[in-house]
Chain A
Amino acid sequence: DAGITQSPRHKVTETGTPVTLRCHQTENHRYMYWYRQDPGHGLRLIHYSYGVKDTDKGEVSDGYSVSRSKTEDFLLTLESATSSQTSVYFCAISERTGVGGQYFGPGTRLTVT
């Protein structure tokens, strides 16, 4: 398995509070991604990174920000959590563009009350 960890694995928070999720990789892969998984939607891309300090938006980026200050860490921040952000969040990494596929972390289950 690819060396990807996510923390925390579970979190319950209140509406309006900021939340930061961490993804850490030991594979030295260039590309990192944040997805959310919701029933009936599969996984949807939130943000991605193509290098240190290089990030861009995915298809569901509203309400989320990211940062990548070093190769191994990719942080996802919910500036002010809302109930619609209750979801399972997955980090993924890939080494190359196009071929090769992405490798996923174990996920973080976030509940916003």
Chain B
Amino acid sequence: AQSVTQPDIHITVSEGASLELRCNYSYGATPYLFWYVQSPGQGLQLLLKYFSGDTLVQGIKGFEAEFKRSQSSFNLRKPSVHWSDAAEYFCAVGAILTGGGNKLTFGTGTQLKVEL
């Protein structure tokens, strides 16, 4: 069965500083990988996704993630954080379900705080 680990529960960075959020996954085949962001009281918004090809994936809001098969990692990065990036970030791995569609297995999330 697939699993996702986000080792950092909380991260605090200063506005303008770079950011890296860690994600490690366990999955037997080539994974479908996703990063989502959740603002307080809101649903989840898809930031970016990876399923094949270039291992550096660009997403919305200036985020990018790099897939490293040898390390089973899919870390999220941003060169310069803005105060509006404060939110909770979830990494997920997808598996194809019987009948189609994907089951997403989520990590427990990383809460990002941005200091002004």
What residues of chain A have their CB less than 8 Å away from a CB belonging to chain B? 4, 30-31, 33, 35, 40-45, 48, 50-51, 54, 56, 58-59, 90, 92, 94, 97-107
> Which of A40, A41, A45, A58 gathers the greatest number of chain B CB atoms within 10 Å?
A45
Instruction: Kindly state whether residue B116 has any CB partner on chain A within 8 Å.
Output: no
A-side contacts of B106, CB under 8 Å: 42-44
Cross-chain contact B90 with A48 (CB below 8 angstroms): no
A-B contact count (CB 8 A): 74
Q: Which residues of B does A touch, CB under 8 Å?
A: 4, 32, 34, 36, 42-46, 49, 51, 90, 94, 96-104, 106-109
**Pick from A31, A100, A104: contact of B43, CB under 8 Å:** A104
> From DSSP, what is the main secondary structure of chain B's interface residues?
strand
8 A-B pairs with CB atoms under 8 Å apart are: A42-B108, A48-B103, A56-B98, A92-B44, A103-B46, A104-B44, A104-B45, A106-B42
Name the residue of chain A whose CB is nearest to the CB of B36: A104
